[in-house]
Every structure is written in structure tokens, then in C-alpha cells.
Chains A and B, each alone.
Chain A
Amino acid sequence: MRRGNRILLSCIYWAFVLYVFVPLLLMILMGFKDSKFIGFPIRSWTLDWYMGVFVDAELLSTLGYSVTIAILSTLISVVVGTWIAVLLEGRKFIGRAAVFGLTLLPALVPGIISAIAFRIYARWLGIEPGMGAIIWAHAVHNVPFVVLVVMARLSTLPKSQIEAARDLGADPIIAFLRITVPYLIPAILGASIFCLLLSFDDFVRSFFLGGYEPTLPVLIFAMLRSGMSPEINAIATVALVLTAAIGIWAERFTRRMNRDTNP
């Protein structure tokens, strides 16, 4: 009975793996099709669509634009998120629950509502749609994820190390910079990668806060509205490879860091 269950469950697991992988693999494959028409069967193959991506100056600038936004918004999220995590972790004060609840708010608001709220707020603050607005919205949206990751790591920091540093004459800032920050590095890096991916792939906030220059997901969306083409496959594949590579690298990296610091 148990054996039968096991086999059944493993079949379900592999079916699920197929469900998550097959669409993406088909998309990559379709980019090699030697026809403007999207669909099976594929009779002849070409590299033209992929080559086209790497010589398209406009596309490359869009890619650069998205990456710049991702990096800048990540920097803000990480600094703010770490600060909030240090305040909240292991400290009791009046209103802590309220601050913690508010901290998680942007992660729980459904995408479209979050985008609309940012759009309205940006106008009220006088922020024009464009790069600055997108960076700001991504940064605010990603803060909760940084807080959660950093807080989890912070809860395992041996408090005696801080006390020892303070006993040896370090003031709070020096103790924080020399003991806490190095200990937090794996969490901060992990959170940064997560923020980079979230920002790079974000559509709804970029769409509502963007000016005339589109980010990569917004560009793909706009192209898709005028119909499917192998060109989009190639562009989407480039985006996919970029995100997956960063993700896999980060996964390995954070695991190694965790192993090194938590034997």
C-alpha cells in the first residue's frame, strides 16, 4: 500500500515538474522556428530570431534600463529592510505589532491595487512617471521580503558576540558594523538577489508607473498585444535565461554561505 502510494505520488510530482517546465521549454524551442507563424509543427530551424535580439540596439537599451532599475531599487530595499529588521528583531516596544503589520502590507496588497495606489501617491508627491517612479515603487514593494529574510538570520545571531564587542569598548555603531553586518551578509545577499528578480520581472508596477520608456516585461507585453512572433520568443528566452541564471547562482551561493557560517 505504502509502495503504491509512493509511486503514485512520485508520478504526480513529475507530472507537476512537466507542467512547470514544458511551457517554458516550448517557448525556447519556438524561438528556433524558421517561420513567422507561431505554432507546431516546426519544420525548419533558424538562429535568426536569437541573433536578432543581440543586434537590436533598442532592445539592449531596454534590457539595460530594466537591470538599472532592478539594481537601484534593490539597494534601497536592502538598506531600509535591514534597518527595519534590526529594529523589529528581538526588541519589545509599544506598537511593535503595528509596525510589523505595516511592514508586511506591501507584500499582501494584490498587484493591481498596489500599482494603482503607487500611481496615485506618486502624482500626489509630484513624482513623474518614469524611471524614478518605478525604482521607488519596486523598492517600497520589496522591503517586506528583505525584512523577513534578514529578521530570520538576525534571530540566530549569538547575542554574546555583540556584548563582547561592547565590553571591549566598541560603541553601538562599531559593534553593529563589525559584528552584526558581517553575520547578516548571507541573508542580505540572498534578499538582494530576490529583490533583483522581483524587480526585473515586475510587470504591473512598471506598467502603471512607467513613462515612455518600457522595461523588458512591459515591452514584451506591448509586443504580445499586437500578436505573437518568434521574435518575442527570443526576447522572452533571453529574459528567462537571465533570471534563471541569477536565481540558480544565488541559490548555490546562499547555500554555501549558510554552510560556511552555520556548521
Chain B
Amino acid sequence: MRNEAAAQGSIPQNGADRTFWGRLSGWTAYRTVMGIATASPRRQFLILAAFPILWVLTQHLGPMVQMLRVSLMDAYPVAPGVEQSFTLDNYARFFGDQIFWQPFFRTLSFAAVFTFCTLILTYPVAYFLARHVSRKNRMLLLLLLLIPFWVGEIVRTYAIMILLGNTGAVNLVLQWFGLIDRPIPFMYTSFSMGVGIVYLTALYMLLPLYSALEKLPDSYNEAAADLGAGAWTRFRRVTLPLTLEGISSGCTLVFLISTGFYATPVLLGGPSTTVFAQTIAGFFHVAGDEWPTGAAFATIMFAGAIVLTAVFQKLMYALRKGDTK
């Protein structure tokens, strides 16, 4: 009788729970393991933390550390029987030849210019979405912009090639209107490369700007208007300073991404727009003995990008501080 009552009752007795979870927690093996694992909160935490910490150390930090190590080797892979030795020659090679530092500075300055263009282009778009569109339509209009950005780097680069080619759409339209009588060679210049890179990175700028602008309360602008500030003054003294954080994070993201493009400059750029990514890649297409140089160059580029980003962040921070005072 009692067993029946227990089976029908709503509270499952130990071992009588026939669900998957009940059975699982009923296993002796499971209970023993769980008993050991949860004996103390400290042990529980260690078990939870061990794998993630191991992962970020070996998988996230590991490749960067190994790249740094190889960049200091005089040969890689180390030949059997030869003692591996460390050297700074790979770094010295960079400074010794302008064939190397030209693309380096070109990459950083191009990335800065493209980042600025992206900012100028997407700020009004983000502003329109966040401040002039009703909440209901906002997601729809934003989604419209998201769709093309799911499409990958290569496909979108190719689309730009079709747009800007000598027989491309832009030249066709210009000729149609009689503005030009022969096609303008847009392709294989820093212009085509810029159009492509801005196209690829615009969303990474748009989203931080949009969220910064969306958070901005209307009351600030209204107060400024009540005090007699015109549209331009309101924008310059209220909106812009309060969205500096969004500008800062968008620019950082776009700048770092822009320095890392390889395929787009190869396809859209020309001989006079070789970027550092192409220089670096060159060392990896040949035999293994050039790898240390390639690793050193990649390290230099990463360091350069990080230093510029840090300086930029510092500037933005100072600007923000100055404005809130």
C-alpha cells in the first residue's frame, strides 16, 4: 500500500523518480563523482574554472606567445642536432629596408583614413536610426543593413570589383549622364581598396554608434534647445560629447579589423597600394626558413596597431574628461 502511494504521490522518493534526471542522479557512480566534486565550494570552483583557464591560456594566448617566440629564432623549424638560438635579426631586417616599412606605414595610415571615412559615413545613418525612426521601424531598418553584412569578405570584395570596374556600374552611369567620355580607372587604386574596406567594416562602426545614440536621453537635447542652442550647437555640445564612447569603441574595432585585411587589398589594390599583410604573407608562402621573419613582422604590425589604438583611446579619454568638466 505504501509503495503504491509513493508511486502515485507527487513527491518522487529517492530512486522512484523515473525521469531521465531522476535516474541520472540515482546512479551510484554519478553520486560518488558529484560527492567528490561538490565536497567544498572551493573544489567546485576549481573544477568549473580549470578548463576555461587552461583553454584561454593555451588557445588564446598560446598562438600569440608562440608567434613571439618564433620571431626571435634564427631558424624555424630547428634542424635536428642544432641548438636553437635566439636573435633580434628578424626585427632588424624590418628597419633595414624601406621595401618593408613603406607598406607598414601605408597600412596604418590607410587604416586610420578608412576608419575616419567609416565614421563620417555611418554616424548620420546611426543618428537617423536612433533618433528619427520609431521604435517599431527601427529594428526593421537596422535589419535591412545587417543582411548584406552576413555575407563574407570575399564575396563582398568581388561585388565591389563589379561595381568599380572599367565596365562596371559606376562608370556606366557616369557615361550615361555624359559626365565622362571614357571610363575612370577606379580599380587597383587606394580608392577601390577604401571603398571595399569601408564596405566590409561599416557595421562594426554602425552598431556601437547606434547603441550610444539610442541611450542618449531626449531631455538633454530639449534642455539645450530651451536654453537657446541651435541644431548645430546641440549636436556639437550635447550629442557628440555624449556619444564619444561609442565613437571610440567603433573606431578601435574598425581600425584593428582594417589593418588585418589580406584578401581585399590583394583583389582591389594595385602595385602601389601593397599593404603589410601582403608582405607578411609572402614569408609564409615560401619555405619554412622565412617564418621567423614573417613572425617578427606580424609582431611588429600587431604592436604598431596596439600602440596607435592605445594613443587614440587615451586621446578620446582626455576629450571625454574635458567635456564633462
* Residue positions of A touching B, CB distance < 8 A: 1-2, 5-6, 9-10, 12-13, 16-17, 19-24, 26-27, 30, 37-41, 80, 83-84, 86-88, 93, 99, 102-103, 105-106, 108-121, 123-124, 140, 143, 170-174, 177-178, 197, 200-204, 207-208, 217, 220-221, 224-225, 228, 232-233, 236, 239-240, 243-244, 246-248, 251, 255
B159: A residues at CB distance < 8 A? 23-24, 26-27, 236
In the complex, A197 Cα to B281 Cα: how many Å? Answer: 25
A38-B260 contact, Cβ under 8 Å, with A16-B145, A30-B162, A99-B53: no
* A20 near B34: Cβ-Cβ < 8 Å: no
Interface residue B146 (Cβ < 8 Å from any Cβ of A): yes
Task: Give the residue name and chain of the B residue nearest to A37 (CB).
Answer: B167
Interface residue B180 (Cβ < 8 Å from any Cβ of A): no
* A24 near B156: Cβ-Cβ < 8 Å: yes
A243: B residues at CB distance < 8 A? 150-152
* Residue positions of B touching A, CB distance < 8 A: 21, 24-25, 34, 38, 44-45, 48-49, 51-53, 55-57, 59-64, 66-67, 70, 77, 121-122, 124-125, 127-129, 132, 139, 141, 143-156, 158-163, 165-169, 172, 199, 202, 231, 256-257, 259-263, 266-267, 277, 280-281, 284, 291, 294-295, 298, 301-302, 305
Q: List 28 A-B contacts (CB under 8 A).
A: A2-B231, A9-B128, A10-B132, A16-B121, A26-B169, A37-B167, A41-B172, A102-B60, A103-B52, A114-B63, A116-B294, A117-B63, A120-B66, A120-B70, A123-B77, A171-B25, A172-B34, A201-B155, A204-B262, A207-B262, A220-B155, A224-B267, A228-B162, A236-B154, A236-B158, A244-B147, A244-B148, A255-B139
Interface centre among B38, B60, B141, by most chain A C-beta atoms within 10 angstroms, is B60
Task: Give the residue name and chain of the A residue nearest to B51 (CB).
Answer: A83
* B128 near A240: Cβ-Cβ < 8 Å: no
* A111 near B155: Cβ-Cβ < 8 Å: no
Q: Point out the residue from A123, A204, A217, A236 that lies within 8 Å of B260, measured CB to CB.
A: A204
* B67 near A117: Cβ-Cβ < 8 Å: yes
* A105 near B147: Cβ-Cβ < 8 Å: no
A106: B residues at CB distance < 8 A? 60
* Shortest 8 CB-CB contacts between residues of A and residues of B: A110-B260, A39-B167, A201-B152, A111-B260, A23-B159, A117-B63, A247-B150, A121-B63
A84-B260 contact, Cβ under 8 Å, with A174-B24, A224-B267, A240-B151: no
* A112 near B280: Cβ-Cβ < 8 Å: yes
Task: Give the residue name and chain of the A residue nearest to B231 (CB).
Answer: A1
Given A116-B295, A221-B267, A239-B155: 6 more A-B contacts, CB < 8 Å:
A87-B48, A111-B260, A116-B280, A120-B291, A174-B25, A255-B139
In the complex, A202 Cα to B146 Cα: how many Å? Answer: 17
Task: Give the residue name and chain of the B residue nearest to A220 (CB).
Answer: B154
B59: A residues at CB distance < 8 A? 140, 143
Task: Give the residue name and chain of the B residue nearest to A25 (CB).
Answer: B159
* B153 near A40: Cβ-Cβ < 8 Å: no
Interface centre among A2, A41, A173, A251, by most chain B C-beta atoms within 10 angstroms, is A173
